[in-house]
Amino acid sequence: MDLVTNKIGLNGIIDVPSDKSISHRSIMFGAIAQGKTTIKNFLRGDDCLSTLKAFQDLGVNIEDDGEVITVQGTGFSGLKQAKQAIDVGNSGTTIRLIMGILAGTSFTSQLFGDHSIAKRPMNRVMLPINQMGAECTGHDGTEFPPLTVKGTTNLRPIQYQMPVASAQVKSAILFAALQAHGESVIVEKEKTRDHTEDMIRQFGGDITVSGKEIRINGPQNLVGQDVVVPGDISSAAFFLVAGLIIPDSRITLNNVGLNPTRTGIIDVIQQMGGNLAIQETGNAMNKAGSLIVETSELKGIEISGEIIPRLIDELPIIALLATQAEGATTIRDAEELKVKETNRIDAVATELNKMGADIQPTDDGLIIHGKTPLHHAKVTSYGDHRIGMMLQIAALLVKDGAVELDKAEAISVSYPSFFNDLNKLYQ
């Protein structure tokens, strides 16, 4: 499809889609808890709907009236064997987290997804889950989906030093640990998003976190709750960057989740000299607020180390931000970008360089030289929603000619209303 180009003066207020990570987990926790869970502001994107359908396949009664989703929780022990293999679509969160839940069942499950999921490594979850007593195997003896998970009701606790900084891996282990007999200890490589820990507490569970060490005893019984999902900062990121780099712009983003494990992009914007204001409106369990950005003069910085897990999903749009900053921006320690929906290091460099950027991919990140004007090109999302949205924001800077995006439909995975929201800002 042809993207919107050559825009100035983006102005207005956007209510960004609900948080994808919390939406996934709200269904999962509702399913494994006892009693009713209600979910408001659920993200009805393809990925989260894959999670909803997966738990319906596992025998959980889930109803959606268009406003509120109601989950009649069965507890861990009430899950039933699916009648067929469970399709996770394009959702890495679904397949990895559900492995931890299925590890403690009394039956065997099969999991598969689309062509992108079939290329995503699963050993990082399979190894610890297997150490706990389940049997997780990949396709033809590999670590790649389709997967088979043979659960056991006698899961063992684990002491596990995380080899990668991954909230998905951590969450899968935590779901298994909730069903294991005894205390599990997980030590993170770096602090990652802690929605799972927060929601264990919210649903009445007991968990202790000290620095990078997490302790959790099992088995535990959870109780249904009322969940209100805040806006997704990963979705807000595209309009934060648009407001900073498009001339004469001022954009307000309402109800954005401000969990400190997710706000690395705010730190980066401030370090680069961006004009960003925060008006907090949430509470301790539902950290949220409004973000206001205006067109800014930006400078290049280094982004590395412990901040990377706090902005891993935002790095493609941060790379675009860096193309419009004076001087070099270096992104390091971001090897995890290689195993997302696509290799995002290569995808960002290849597609933005087509448009005139000066980006050098490295083994663990990117070196971006700014400030560079961008021009028209034919680009692709590679079927990756975040690459697709990043390229549309880039196209707004193109003054002459069309930018044609292949595989634009991938954007619906996390932000079905993305183009409609963009349209509101330049009318």
Same domain, 75 and 199: yes
CA-nearest of 390, 405, 420, 371 to 247 is 371
Residue 5 lies in a domain: no
**Strand, helix or coil at 2?**
strand
Binding residues for 3-phosphoshikimate: 20-21, 25, 166, 168, 313, 340
Same domain, 287 and 185: no
Is residue 321 domain-resident?
yes
Half-sphere exposure of 145 (CA within 13 A, CB side): 26
Q: How far apart are CA 269 and CA 49, in angstroms?
A: 32
Predicted TM-score of the model (pTM): 0.84
In 3D space, the residue among 278, 275, 219, 218 whose CA is nearest the CA of residue 246 turns out to be 275
Distance CA 119, CA 386 (A): 18
Q: In terms of domains, do 237 and 185 share one?
A: no
Catalytic residues: 313
Q: What's the residue count for the chain?
A: 427
For residue 414, the one-letter residue type is S
Listing DSSP states for 155-217 in one string gives PPP-EEE-SS--HHHHHHHHHHHTTSSEEEEEE-SS----HHHHHHHHTT---EEETTEEEEE
Asked if 352 and 409 sit in the same domain, the reply is yes
Domain match, 343 and 397 both: yes
Whether 169 and 265 map to the same domain: the answer is no
Question: Same domain for 265 and 186?
Answer: no
CATH assignment of the domain containing 274? 3.65.10.10
Known binding positions for phosphoenolpyruvate: 20, 92, 120, 168, 344, 386
| Residues 249, 365 share a domain | yes
Q: Which of 164, 189, 216 is the last residue of a domain?
A: 216
Same domain, 236 and 319: yes
140 occurs within a structural domain: yes
Point out the annotated binding site: 20-21, 25, 92, 120, 166, 168, 313, 340, 344, 386
Helix (H) / strand (E) containing 63 = strand 61-64
The three-point CA angle 327-330-334 to 5° equals 160
Residue 281's pLDDT is 78
pLDDT of residue 352: 98
Output the pLDDT for position 169.
Answer: 96
Q: Does residue 1 belong to any structural domain of this protein?
A: no
* Whether residues 258 and 385 fall in one domain: yes
Domain count, the chain: 2
202 lies in the same domain as 240: no
Does residue 126 contact residue 172 with C-beta atoms inside 8 Å? no
> Do residues 127 and 241 both lie within one domain?
no
- Tens digit of pLDDT at every position of the chain (427 positions): 999 999 999 999 999 889 999 999 999 999 999 999 999 999 998 999 999 999 999 999 999 999 999 999 999 999 999 999 999 999 999 999 999 999 999 999 999 999 989 998 899 999 999 999 999 999 998 999 999 999 999 999 999 999 998 999 999 999 999 999 999 999 999 999 999 999 999 999 999 999 999 999 999 999 999 999 999 999 999 999 999 999 999 999 998 999 898 999 999 999 999 999 999 876 555 688 999 999 999 999 999 999 999 999 999 999 999 999 999 999 999 998 987 878 999 999 999 999 999 999 999 999 999 999 999 999 999 999 999 999 999 999 999 999 999 999 999 888 989 999 999 998 7
- Could you tell me if residue 6 is inside a domain? no
Q: Which domain holds residue 314?
A: 11-18+230-425
